[in-house]
Every structure is written in structure tokens, then in C-alpha cells.
Amino acid sequence: MMIKKADEIKGREITEKSTYLNRRQFIAAGAVLGAGLLLPGVFVGEVAGPKIPGVRPSPFGTKEERTPYKDVTGYNNYYEFGTDKEDPAANAGRFRIRPWTVRIDGAVKKSREYDIDQLIKMSPLEERVYRMRCVEGWSMVIPWVGFPLQSLIKAVEPSSQAKYVEFTTLLNPDQMPGQRRRVLDWPYVEGLRLDEAMHPLTLLAVGLYGEVLPNQNGAPLRLVVPWKYGFKGIKGIVRIRFVEHQPVTAWIKAAPNEYGFYSNVNPDVDHPRWSQRKERRIGEFFKRETLMFNGYADQVGHLYAGMDLRKYF
């Protein structure tokens, strides 16, 4: 593997503007991916997806060097498709992402079910280059394409009872072979406090590297919360529910002493089986110091003012 470091992203366009499609073509491209049409014998992580049109630059993110596309799409945690890092890319190629609906309900005034393409059209898409940190100690820098979760929250108008947001992944063992094993209590469930969900950094992603989100990265819709460990970024979302009480998440059910509800990146709070003080950026040999809140402390630290971050880990 090439060892490469840089403080600034090189001045180049990731996607040529001349190759952009219109939004209708983007939706059609998503339907093609959902049908699971792959070139014979081609590993899904090696193939760039359809380009996403009209993505605007975002003021959020980092200028750090981006992790190569092949690593972002070939080295994943997605237990619904297997527990090894290479399993999702190998097993998710024929996962069908169209038709797809997302139900929004619970303590909201405007409960409804969205077709995924309706949802995508509701808010202008942005590219945000975020640091991403896994609890196992590896990290990446990924240019996500998506829209702020807060725009959807505002559209459905939460009631005063809404204190948390609960997310649920599709349950379909026929398409998701990992769900045939009791590794976790399926379907996968995650959650955020409402103010975390409303934070401008919190993203619903539909693409990466200017392209339609690959199946193994959570297509057609996944959560990105860059100051938290990666398992909080639930994939294949089919339901978003607003609730009064803290959701019981998949990993809290499985190992509550290891995977807390907040799961903020914190070098001072170790996992019971390993230290969180250092991380290894994919593509680099040497480890680097882990940053508090994954380097987003200035933006999100106020959300946890006065909290005991060892107790609420």
C-alpha cells in the first residue's frame, strides 16, 4: 500500500463538470444500481458509480487528504453483509435499493412515508469532506454527498415530546446475508439526541466522491455524524422515528459496557479492550493522535457542556 501524507488537498476536480447528469438521470442511475446490475466478474469496489449532478460546495469539512476511493468502498463495517471488512463489498453488489421508502413517524406533526427520490429532491445536495473514525482504531477522510438531517427534521415538525431520533435499517435476510446470523439483534437500530440530530454537521448521505453511494457504504441512505465513532452511522435507513426516551440501539443491546449511546470520539475514554488515544489513517503506516470529538470540538463541544463524558460515553 502506498504511504502518502499531505496537509492540503491537491487542487483538482474530483468530478468533471462536463460529466454531470441532470437530476432525472441521477434518479434513473440509482434505479439501475438498485436492480443490482453489475458487470460480470467485476468487484463492486473497483467500479465508480454514476455521477451526482448539481452538488454544491459546503462550508463544512476538512482540507485533509482524502482516502482513496478504492479503500473507502472496499474496507467497510456493515455487519448485514458480513463481519470481515471486505465482506460488504463482496456481498452487497446485488442489494436492491429501488424501490425504497423511508417512513418518518413518532412525535412529529407531519408523519409520512417518503420515496427515496422524493427525499433526495427535498434539499440541495452538498459535498462535505469529513474525518471518519472507527472504534477499532482506523480512520478515513471521505467526501460525502448528502443533505443536512436538520432540513428533514424541520419539514416533519417534531412535537415537544421529541427528545431523541431513532433510526432503523432494512430487515431483509434474503438480501442481507449477515442478518441470517445472530451477530446482532436485527434490525440494526441507532439513535441521536434531538440537538445532535439538528446540528449542521449531521448529514444524511446519498453519495461519496461525487458519485451515487455504493451499496457497501450504506446505499441508498445513511447517517454521517463525523464527531462520533463510525458504528453510529447507520446504513440502509428505512425508518426515522422521533421519541421521548433514549432509543435502545443494536450495540447497546449487544455490549452496553463497550458501545455507549453517545459514542463520541474521545481519546481519554478507552474501549474496554483497547486504547482510543491513537488511530491509523487508512493509507498511512504510522499512527496519529486521536482528536477530541474527532477534531470537531469547536463545533460540537457545547452539546456536552457539564456532562461526565466517562459516564455518558
Yes or no: say if 22 and 181 are a contact pair by the CB < 8 Å rule. no
**Is pLDDT larger for residue 37 or for residue 113?**
113
State how far the Cα of 67 lies from the Cα of 143, in Å rounded to an integer. 9
Mean pLDDT of 300-311: 97
Q: What is the pLDDT of residues 212-224, one digit of tens each?
A: 999 999 999 999 9
- The answer to whether residue 10 sits within a structural domain is no
Yes or no: say if 274 and 134 are a contact pair by the CB < 8 Å rule. no
Yes or no: say if 224 and 247 are a contact pair by the CB < 8 Å rule. no
Q: How many domains does the chain have?
A: 1
- The answer to whether residue 309 sits within a structural domain is no
Q: In whole numbers, what is the pLDDT of the chain averaged over residues?
A: 88
Mean pLDDT of 156-160: 98
What CATH number has the domain bearing residue 149? 3.90.420.10
Query: CB atoms < 10 A from the CB of 152, how many?
Result: 19
- The answer to whether residue 4 sits within a structural domain is no
- The answer to whether residue 9 sits within a structural domain is no
pLDDT at 14: 37
Q: What is the pLDDT of residues 52-88, one digit of tens each?
A: 999 999 989 999 999 999 999 999 999 999 999 999 9
- The answer to whether residue 5 sits within a structural domain is no
Q: What percent of the chain has pLDDT over 70?
A: 85
- The answer to whether residue 2 sits within a structural domain is no
Query: With 70 as the cut, is the pLDDT of residue 31 above it?
Result: no
Q: How confident is the model at residue 49 (pLDDT cuts 50, 70, 90)?
A: confident
Query: With 90 as the cut, is the pLDDT of residue 275 above it?
Result: yes
Q: What percent of the chain has pLDDT over 90?
A: 82
- The answer to whether residue 238 sits within a structural domain is yes
- The answer to whether residue 45 sits within a structural domain is yes
Of the listed ranges 33-42, 73-82, 248-257, 274-283, the one predicted with least confidence: 33-42
Query: With 90 as the cut, is the pLDDT of residue 159 above it?
Result: yes
Burial label for 283, CB within 10 Å (0-12, 13-18, 19+), is: middle
28 Cβ neighbours under 8 A, 6+ residues apart: none
Query: With 60 as the cut, is the pLDDT of residue 27 above it?
Result: no
Q: How confident is the model at residue 48 (pLDDT cuts 50, 70, 90)?
A: low
State how far the Cα of 32 lies from the Cα of 278, in Å rounded to an integer. 41
173 Cβ neighbours under 8 A, 6+ residues apart: 179, 180, 186
Domain that holds residue 177: 17-304
Yes or no: say if 85 and 77 are a contact pair by the CB < 8 Å rule. yes
What is the maximum span of the chain, computed from C-alpha positions, in angstroms?
56
Yes or no: say if 301 and 294 are a contact pair by the CB < 8 Å rule. no
Taking the model in full, what pTM does it have?
A: 0.86
State how far the Cα of 79 lies from the Cα of 200, in Å rounded to an integer. 28
